[in-house]
Amino acid sequence: AKNGGGSIINVASVNGVVPGGMQGIYSITKAAVIAMTKSFALECAAMGVRVNALLPGATDTKFASALFHNPVILEKALNRIP
């Protein structure tokens, strides 16, 4: 903001919009990231700072490795992504 503007990018998840089964806490925290992004966007707009969130679907990470190595679970997860 001191330099006349900027951008903040938060990483949320599709689970923040449509909670995933057996992923309650994860889904809740990603919903919080989405709400935080919307609040910051309103607060920072007047300073020329854009605030956005990425909402990726399934991403192959160490945290999600069980998802990607179980074909049944992976198929269910992929079917939830538009």
Q: Indicate the domain borders of the chain.
A: 6-79
Q: Output the average pLDDT for the chain.
A: 91
Of 23, 26, 36, 44, the active-site residue reads 26
Span 28-52, pLDDT tens digits: 999 999 999 999 999 999 999 999 9
Query: Average of pLDDT values for 5-24?
Result: 92
Q: Can you give the pLDDT at residue 21?
A: 81
- Region of 4 on the Ramachandran plot (φ > 0 left; ψ -120 to 50 alpha; else beta): left
pTM of the model: 0.79
50 φ, ψ to 5°? -85, 140
Task: Reply yes or no on whether 26 is catalytic.
Answer: yes
Residue 77: exposure state from Cβ atoms within 10 A (0-12, 13-18, ≥19): buried
CA 2 to chain CA centroid, nearest Å = 27
Contact criterion met (CB below 8 Å) for 56 and 77: no
- Percentage above 70 pLDDT, the chain: 100
pLDDT beyond 90 at 79: no
